[in-house]
Amino acid sequence: MPFQVAWRVLSHQKGRTALAVGGVFVATLLIFVELGFFIAVPQGGMLTYDHMRFDLLVASNRYVFMGQSWQFPRAALAAAANVPGVAAASPVYLGDAKWQNPEGGPRIDVTAIGFDPPTRIFAVPDIDRQTPVLERADTMLVDSATRSIFGPLTTGRTVDLNGRSMTIGGEYRLGTGFLGLGVVLVDPANFFRIFARRSPQQINLGLVTLRPGADRDKVVAALRRALPPDVQVFTRAGLTRYEIAYWTTKTATGVIFGSGLIVAFIVGLMILYQTLATQIARQLPQFAMLKAIGYRNRTLDAIVLVEALLITLGAFLPGLGAALGLYFLIRRETLLPVTLTGVELSGVFAAAAAMAIGSALFSLARLRRADPADIF
């Protein structure tokens, strides 16, 4: 009975219902997108790591995130290489250079990653393939996700990095993540040409790979014993937790998308509440009549709840479709891992259900005002 009445009331007032469904659709879509970002953006910190070959990361104790990693002595990494179970320990150099197009224009910050090509720390075929290019003097590879303000990324074009003329030797696609608007790859020789004042004895990251069959936890413990106290060791999982915690709690990212999530939820809640409250106010005498002839409060509550759920469901499915489309666009543009996981889907569904139930509960106070004694 509640379902039938709810359905008929909604289908009777098509205009109002469409408005409500539209509003909740927008709210649901917003929740999808905000939640997508909320989950994906912190993972942006792992974007580059995700395409690197390593089992353990050695970094300075002051390590904040990849773009702010501080430095530690290369000797420490050499010591790590001698720890039993370690197959290789490869240094990574990171630095911010000023990019200047030869045609002029502003000097733009670009992140340079220096690594030794034979260490093959990137699991990116395009990078492997272009190893000979990297080894050329004053040559670099550019991430094709580098923004257009850096000018065309045409192979052979020469630009100015920290005052040194560098040739674009080719492109690869990895995504710049939180490293900035542009990223270039160079070999150590070229890296220290760009950053002439930096000492090759100070490195930013050390990528450790384990021998097959080595016990990771034991190696981690051994590394911690062997390495100086101003250096720390991350497992991949530990690094992921560290990065996500940093982007979620220490930066505005979590607040921005988290609050967006809450606002979207409240907007949906208010739209639903408004719809239900108007609906109840218009039909108060009918509801009072139902009470008078012997319907219990819970039956009337059920009518309102079913209305809320129907509207929400009607909005959720198209919201899901639109969100999938948007996710695709965001993924293509930012290379952020914005995907619909089971967790997200059930999260948004739970939020939508909470919206429906919450709004119904709020509007029940109005329903209680239906006094059967008033209708005679």
For the segment 12-41, give every residue that binds another protein (CB under 8 A).
12-13
Nearest-approach distance from CB 307 to another protein, in angstroms: 11
Candidates 202, 209, 251, 283; binder of another protein (CB under 8 A) is: 283
Nearer to another protein, 263 or 292 (CB): 292
* Binding window for another protein (CB under 8 A); candidates: 4-12, 226-234, 235-243, 326-334: 4-12
Nearest-approach distance from CB 268 to another protein, in angstroms: 24
For the segment 285-314, give every residue that binds another protein (CB under 8 A).
285-286, 288-296
Nearest-approach distance from CB 284 to another protein, in angstroms: 10
259: region left, alpha or beta (phi > 0 left; psi from -120 to 50 alpha)? alpha
Nearer to another protein, 251 or 297 (CB): 297
Nearest-approach distance from CB 324 to another protein, in angstroms: 34
Residue 361 to residue 355: CA distance in whole angstroms: 10
Nearest-approach distance from CB 14 to another protein, in angstroms: 11
Nearest-approach distance from CB 2 to another protein, in angstroms: 11
Site track 243-272 with another protein (rule: CB under 8 A), x = hit = ------------------------------
Nearer to another protein, 64 or 289 (CB): 289
* Binding window for another protein (CB under 8 A); candidates: 7-15, 161-169, 259-267, 268-276: 7-15
Nearest-approach distance from CB 273 to another protein, in angstroms: 20
Give the number of residues written for the chain.
376
Candidates 67, 200, 260, 372; binder of another protein (CB under 8 A) is: 372
Q: Is 5 an interacting residue with respect to another protein (CB under 8 A)? A: yes
* Binding window for another protein (CB under 8 A); candidates: 90-98, 280-288, 323-331, 349-357: 280-288
Nearest-approach distance from CB 19 to another protein, in angstroms: 16
Name the residues that contact another protein, by CB under 8 A: 1, 4-5, 8-9, 11-13, 283, 285-286, 288-296, 372-373, 375-376
